[in-house]
Amino acid sequence: IGATVIDSLDTLYLMELKEEFQEAKAWVEENFHLNVSGEASLFEVNIRYIGGLLSAFYLTGEEVFRIKAIRLGEKLLPAFNTPTGIPKGVVSFKSGSWGWATAGSSSILAEFGSLHLEFLHLTELSGNQVFAEKVRNIRKVLRKIEKPFGLYPNFLSPVSGNWVQHHVSVGGLGDSFYEYLIKSWLMSGKTDMEAKNMYYEALEAIETYLLNVSPGGLTYIAEWRGGILDHKMGHLACFSGGMIALGAEDAKEEKRVHYRELAAQITKTCHESYARSDTKLGPEAFWFNSGREAVATQLSESYYILRPEVVESYMYLWRQTHNPIYREWGWEVVLVSLGEILSDRSRFLRDPRCVQ
């Protein structure tokens, strides 16, 4: 419940839900204690708790949010106590130790690669350089290590500093690493050239080795396993349309129009994954094989869990192009989702077990 409260602070404030915001702020002040025991995900604590607190602080200037964010960041620092400085995925708040320390374990690209936005701000707000040093070391390791065809595999050993396996995905396990690179460039006032160069180099490798166009004309980003492509996209990968649109402005001049068109094509493909499903809600993953395109082919992937990536890309494309189709597509998702919720409620109320 704590993650939901803190993750929602900025939304409550922006929507002018003043009473609810004050209630959430009071919960942070009175009930969000950092002297807890147990283990927690470094990644989730960073993006939801620290990110939520930082956002609330920048919107309101309320000192409680800044202080809590810094103290929580300090609690995460033991996760970086590895031979390479690449953090482990889990940190123990009770002992201050880092988890999963065996030589065969691995850290996930999307997790350790999605720390620098928040950690750089922790340094800025605290004056403590340790936060910035930790994430700059991550980039140093990633720049130095040999990358297959310029691609970043999803699993890295924090002990040896080597890739554990050659699985590359712009969806789950890899996604926000790429997103944080281009956003770091923008957040820095376009001074972080390292982030900019790493982003465009990674995008070029993705386009060269993962980008495909189906026989039906749908552009998609496949997954790569040691040189063999899985012709599928996960719902999580659908953020990439918005990301590529966001990065188009600062690309080389001859590539800007190309990237805007590529962003539009990927976003169209992700819309098709919604349009071609029975419910008109997109599946967790969709494939391009055996004459079937942009549809789930396995029961284990035929579900929808309120992921925001497709709608996020609609928003970015709308902001960039003002093409009304993106607002229409977004509204379709709202209507369909609302219809499913009301339908579920109706079925629930008709269930004889609920009459009591």
User: Given the DSSP bridges, would you call strands 223-225 and 167-168 parallel, antiparallel or unpaired?
Assistant: antiparallel
Please report, as a single letter, which amino acid is at residue 287.
W
- 348 Cβ contact list (under 8 Å, min separation 6): 354
Other C-beta atoms closer than 10 Å to the C-beta of 237 total: 27
314 backbone dihedrals φ, ψ, rounded to 5°: -55, -45
3-state secondary structure of 163: strand
For 202-264, the DSSP string reads: HHHHHHHHTEEE-TTS-EEE-EEETTEEE-EEEGGGGGHHHHHHHHHTTS-HHHHHHHHHHHH
For 281-308, the DSSP string reads: S--SEEEEETTEEEE--SGGG-------
> What is the residue whose two structure tokens read 């549809």?
295
Other C-beta atoms closer than 10 Å to the C-beta of 62 total: 16
Residue 46 token pair: 């960073």
CA neighbor of 224 nearest in space, from 167, 165, 170 = 167
Burial class (CB in 10 A: 0-12, 13-18, 19+), 119: buried
Residue 197 token pair: 């160069």
Active site residues: 44, 175, 284, 309
Looking from the CA of 10 toward its CB, the CA atoms found within 13 Å total 14
Helical H segments across 61-108, by residue range: 63-76
How long a stretch of residues is the chain?
356
CA neighbor of 128 nearest in space, from 137, 120, 138, 136 = 120
Beta bridge partners of 90: 41
> What is the residue whose two structure tokens read 């300090």?
74
